[in-house]
Structure 1
Amino acid sequence: MEENAGLVLATERYGSAQSWKYLVKDGGMERRRDGGEGGSRGNSVVGFFKSVFLPQGFPESVSDDYLQYQFWDTVQAFSSSLSGTLATQASLKGVGVGNQEATVAAATVTWLLRDGTGMLGRILFAWRKGSKLDSEAKKWRLFADVLNDVAMFMEILAPHFPACFTLIVCTAGIFKSVVGVAGGATRAALTVHQARRDNMADISAKDGSQETLVNLAGLLVSLMLIPLVTDNPVLTLSLFFLFTVLHLFANYKAVRSVVMETFNEARLSIVLRQYLKDKRILSPLEANRREPVLLQFRTAAPIKLGVRLQDVVQSSEELSLASKENSRPFLLGVTNGCVCVCLGPEASVCDKIRATCQAVWLSDKLSCPTSRNPPCAAAKQQSFWAIVFESHKVMEANFKPFLKGVEAAGWDVKRTLLDWDEWRVEWKTKRS
């Protein structure tokens, strides 16, 4: 038995951070940690905090950008917590806290009006923009935080305009309701991206724990700030602008750190244009770095995906034109300067990516000065169909190698974040 002493019977590990060996010793079995027992106290403390605030299986169970995103998200949450304290103090002062002439009824009515308008704003925003929050999560995440800072700034200024106080706080309430919808929905979309082991709930729960800890730290700092800023509007505004700058900077860095491997319209456009330019496929990291994260006005022809048939063609002749040289389960057309795509019910994810690529090429082509301002309406429509026919040829020549290249580069083409509407059309014209 002495000859077998120290023989490794088995090994085990917990994630990638800790591993153990089972050794033969004195006729029995001993469990020993790799690397010895030195520093076990420090490791146990670190392990405790990891288990409390990080998802199980970290870092393998989350995306590579998780830690960087959470760092900047923590910084923005802390600065937002401090700004929120200043805004809350101003709101309470505005409704009459500390003022002997103020009535409870007047303060209650103001609060109820603010909450009521906020509820309406939440419903309207979710109705109008709910479908955009998945496909453009980064943009709306940053937009929500900018709007939150605007709302808090309005609350700080409101007490200085007593005649318009109710209007200002109600407007700020609407803004904050939009922030609640956009911020919560986009956070869920980012959690889907970060979850690599179907562990969305665990990541979301640990994110809540991190945010609670940050808010607790913000609360302690706020207790020290309140005596300093009371009845001192200059200091209040100065600190608010300082926290706001930090908040916006941290938010920008947070959304910039996210590297999503699924295509939305912006990322697909960036990768496709680079491929058509020099046949080079951008990696997810390269494309995400180029992706715009600020809401901006379109410079190219807008694209509408999954529209009704009448948005693509207005006659049987145009339907024949749209299906000419097109054996795919989608139709493309140009209506009022917009590239419209009509989708068949049998279309696959690959078909959706191809249709969007073709729409992006059409949009770029229509945005060129040479494709604008034809001499008359009939010639204009004829010119549009000529460009559509050309787009079919471009995709036939380029799409297969493009799709193969993006898969090899690490893009997920089994699902997308493309903003398709729900219209599906079966057309009767024979497709060759």
Structure 2
Amino acid sequence: MEDCAAILATERYGSGESWHYVAKDGAMERRRDSSEAGPRGNLFVGVFKSVFLPQGYPESVSADYLQYQFWDTVQAFASSLSGTLATQASLRGVGVGNQEATVAAATVTWLLRDGTSMLGRIVFAWLKGNKLDSEAKKWRLFADILNDIAMFMEILAPFFPAWFTLIVCMSGIFKSVVGVAGGATRAALTVHQARRDNMADISAKDGSQETLVNLAGLLVSLILIPLVTDNPALTIGLFFLFTTLHLFANYKAVRSVVMETLNEARLAIMLRHFLRDGCVPTPVVANREEPVFLEFRKTLPIKLGVRLQEVVQSPEELRFALMRKDAPILLGFTNGCVRVCLAAHAHTQDEIRAMCQAIWLSDRLSSSRQHQGFWEMVHKSYTLMDSKFDRFYKGVEDAGWDVTRTLLDWDEWRLKWKPKMR
């Protein structure tokens, strides 16, 4: 208490430390705040946090960071051990330890596997690259499931010598998909976790965490390898054990993520809650209900930002679509899919409203199974949005959702229609 009057300044390091500068005998002395709870001066914990956690943790990251990273660490450790078993099987399959095997044959097999992997990476990025932002959780989990399938194929490949090259090439394709989907979705999750524009720091520390886990996996693998060599039953048994742990940890990891940006699944959950109960769920509630497995749709698919000819096929249909003069969107239904054209001047709020309208139409058309009166339902959807969207949008903002940007899967086509056609 005697020093309180002599305090010259106080400084903090995030939420971790608080220090006072006090005047004593004509000099300035730095002292830790005595009111702080918990252990003091724990050098090891401080060094560990600075090496493996982003600067400014926990304020510099999202609230779900620690829980996600815990389960991500568990899954990475299990995957590392499974990968060791798969690598051992692959090496045995290409002839390591077999005096009759040739270097040329092993090299050709490896080159074929790498070549098919490269092609698979290009094709998958072309076909599904635009889906990885909007459905990051689903593709993250899918990538890990596919990775386990690929490793299981590598373990089984030596038991089918005649098909070995084909099996490892298929495994290589699967792993190439894993590389694209896993890396891209990890980047999307890093965007979510970075709360101070510190994506690079979070990515770097994530790499340090993964390296530490792989080092631990390497040490355990040194113990496992002598046990599983020439013991296929133990190899497969341990693989299923590690795979079970890997998939469980991955499921818990993606379930722990609470994203505040709107994608189709989360927006559909919110809209259905609002239309049923009159309230908008918070990000925690909606993320808890969001599906994390790729699934066959029970509702009609929705395509956003399409060309005009995908929405209407005749001048008469265009006149039907333009009956709503002030709407910056056109909706249509072709080939079992609800399609939306977006005006060139539309902004983010218009995109959210268009998606809400398309979700409502998709639900109604899926339940009715009759699509003859589509244009009447389109105009009903406009009426519904006129009466409810403003209140819904305010509820979205009040619930803590980020409406400055979206993860809705819009294509790039934008439309300008002539006023005289209205």
Give the TM-score range, shorter chain: over 0.9
Within the alignment, does 1:385 sit opposite 2:384 as a pair?
Answer: no
Residues 357 and 382, structure 2, Cα contact 8 Å, conserved in 1: yes
Structure 2 counterpart of 1:259: 258
Q: How far is 1:304 from its partner?
A: 0.5
Residues 323 and 429, structure 1, Cα contact 8 Å, conserved in 2: no
Note the alpha carbon deviations across 1:171-191, whole angstroms, 9 max, x for none: 000000000000000000000
In structure 2, the CA distance between the partners of 1:119 and 1:4, relative to structure 1 (3 Å rule), is closer
Between the aligned partners of 1:238 and 1:18, the Cα distance in structure 2 is 48
Q: How far is 1:40 from its partner?
A: 4.0
Structure 2 counterpart of 1:316: 315
Residues 6 and 25, structure 1, Cα contact 8 Å, conserved in 2: no
Q: How far is 1:6 from its partner?
A: 4.6
Note the alpha carbon deviations across 1:146-183, whole angstroms, 9 max, x for none: 00000000000000000000000000000000000000
Q: How far is 1:368 from its partner?
A: 1.3
Within the alignment, does 1:424 sit opposite 2:411 as a pair?
Answer: no
Structure 2 counterpart of 1:401: 391
Aligned pair count? 421
In structure 2, the CA distance between the partners of 1:6 and 1:170, relative to structure 1 (3 Å rule), is same
What pairs with 1:83-102 in structure 2 (closer than 5 Å)?
83-102=82-101
Q: How far is 1:36 from its partner?
A: 7.7
227-236 vs 320-329, which moves further: 320-329
Between the aligned partners of 1:5 and 1:423, the Cα distance in structure 2 is 66
For structure 2, list consecutive stretches of 5 or more residues without a partner in the other structure.
Answer: none
In structure 2, the CA distance between the partners of 1:26 and 1:389, relative to structure 1 (3 Å rule), is same
TM-score, length-normalised on structure 1? 0.95
In structure 2, the CA distance between the partners of 1:229 and 1:393, relative to structure 1 (3 Å rule), is same
Which letter does structure 2 place at the counterpart of 1:129? K
Residues 3 and 22, structure 2, Cα contact 8 Å, conserved in 1: no
Residues 319 and 421, structure 2, Cα contact 8 Å, conserved in 1: no
What pairs with 1:133-172 in structure 2 (closer than 5 Å)?
133-172=132-171
Q: How far is 1:406 from its partner?
A: 0.7
Between the aligned partners of 1:398 and 1:431, the Cα distance in structure 2 is 28
Note the alpha carbon deviations across 1:325-353, whole angstroms, 9 max, x for none: 24121111111221100011111000000
Q: How far is 1:28 from its partner?
A: 2.2
Structure 2 counterpart of 1:377: none
TM-score, length-normalised on structure 2? 0.97
Q: Report the secondary structure of 2:23's partner residue.
A: strand
Between the aligned partners of 1:326 and 1:391, the Cα distance in structure 2 is 14
Which letter does structure 2 place at the counterpart of 1:102? A
Between the aligned partners of 1:139 and 1:40, the Cα distance in structure 2 is 42
In structure 2, the CA distance between the partners of 1:23 and 1:431, relative to structure 1 (3 Å rule), is farther
Q: Report the secondary structure of 1:30's partner residue.
A: strand
Q: How far is 1:431 from its partner?
A: 8.1
Q: CA RMSD in A?
A: 1.6
Q: Report the secondary structure of 2:401's partner residue.
A: coil
Within the alignment, does 1:47 sit opposite 2:46 as a pair?
Answer: yes
Q: Report the secondary structure of 2:303's partner residue.
A: strand
157-166 vs 312-321, which moves further: 312-321
Within the alignment, does 1:29 sit opposite 2:19 as a pair?
Answer: no
For structure 1, list consecutive stretches of 5 or more residues without a partner in the other structure.
Answer: 375-379
Q: How far is 1:428 from its partner?
A: 1.3
Q: Report the secondary structure of 1:59's partner residue.
A: coil
Structure 2 counterpart of 1:364: 363
Residues 327 and 431, structure 1, Cα contact 8 Å, conserved in 2: no
Q: How far is 1:409 from its partner?
A: 0.4
Note the alpha carbon deviations across 1:344-400, whole angstroms, 9 max, x for none: 11110000000000000000110113x51x6xxxxx2xx100000000000000110
Between the aligned partners of 2:39 and 2:281, the Cα distance in structure 1 is 44
Note the alpha carbon deviations across 1:99-158, whole angstroms, 9 max, x for none: 000000000000000000000000000000000000000000000000000000000000
Between the aligned partners of 1:234 and 1:219, the Cα distance in structure 2 is 22
* Matched-pair identity in %: 75
Residues 263 and 407, structure 2, Cα contact 8 Å, conserved in 1: yes
